[in-house]
Structure 1
Amino acid sequence: MLADFNLRIIFEYLPLFLTGLRSTFFISAVSIFLALIAGTIACACRISSIKLLKYPAIAYIEIIRSTPLLVQIYFLYFGLPTLGIRVPEIQTGIIALMLNSGAYIAEIIRAGITSVDDGQIEAGVASGLNYFQRMRFIILPQALGATVPPLLGQSIVLVKDSALLSLISVMELTRVGQTMTSERFMPTEAFLTVAFFYMCIYFCLKALADWSQRKLIYREAY
Structure 2
Amino acid sequence: MLEAFNFRAILEYMPTYGQCFLATLWLSALSLFGAILVGIAACAMRLSHSRLLSGAAGVYIESIRSTPLLAQLYFFYFGLPTFGVMLPEWVTGVIALTLNSGAYYAEIIRAGIQAIHSGQIEAGIASGFSYLQRMRYIILPQALGMTIRPMLGQAIVLVKDSSLLSLISILELTRAGQLLTSERFMPAEGFLTTAVFYLIIYYMLKAFSGWSEKKLIFREAH
TM-score (norm 2): 0.96
Aligned pairs for 1:2-151 (under 5 A) are 2-151=2-151
Aligned pairs for 1:188-199 (under 5 A) are 188-199=188-199
In the alignment, the residues of structure 1 paired with residue 43 and residue 27 of structure 2 have an alpha-carbon distance, to the nearest angstrom, of: 23
Deviation at 1:101, TM superposition (A): 0.4
Question: Are the equivalent residues in 2 in contact too, given 1:46–1:53 (CA < 8 A)?
Answer: yes
In the alignment, the residues of structure 1 paired with residue 175 and residue 204 of structure 2 have an alpha-carbon distance, to the nearest angstrom, of: 22
Residues 177-217 of structure 1: per-residue CA shift (max 9 Å, x gap): 00110010100000110000000000001001100111223
Residues 132-154 of structure 1: per-residue CA shift (max 9 Å, x gap): 22211111111011011111000
Q: CA 1:80 to 1:22, structure 2 compared with 1: closer, same or farther past 3 Å?
A: same
* Code of the aligned partner of 2:7: L
Aligned-partner SS, 1:189: helix
* Code of the aligned partner of 1:129: F
Residues 74-133 of structure 1: per-residue CA shift (max 9 Å, x gap): 000000001110111111000000000000000000000000011111222222222222
Aligned-partner SS, 2:13: helix
* Range with greater deviation from structure 2 (51-60 or 64-73): 51-60
Structure 2 residues not aligned, in runs of 5+:
none
Question: Are the equivalent residues in 2 in contact too, given 1:141–1:220 (CA < 8 A)?
Answer: no
TM-score (norm 1): 0.96
Residues 152-193 of structure 1: per-residue CA shift (max 9 Å, x gap): 000000000000011111110001100110010100000110
**Counterpart residue number, 1:171:** 171
Q: What is the aligned-residue identity percentage?
A: 62
Deviation at 1:220, TM superposition (A): 8.1
Aligned-partner SS, 2:27: helix
Deviation at 1:218, TM superposition (A): 6.7
In the alignment, the residues of structure 2 paired with residue 9 and residue 212 of structure 1 have an alpha-carbon distance, to the nearest angstrom, of: 39
Aligned-partner SS, 2:5: coil
Q: CA 1:220 to 1:139, structure 2 compared with 1: closer, same or farther past 3 Å?
A: farther
Q: How many residues align?
A: 221
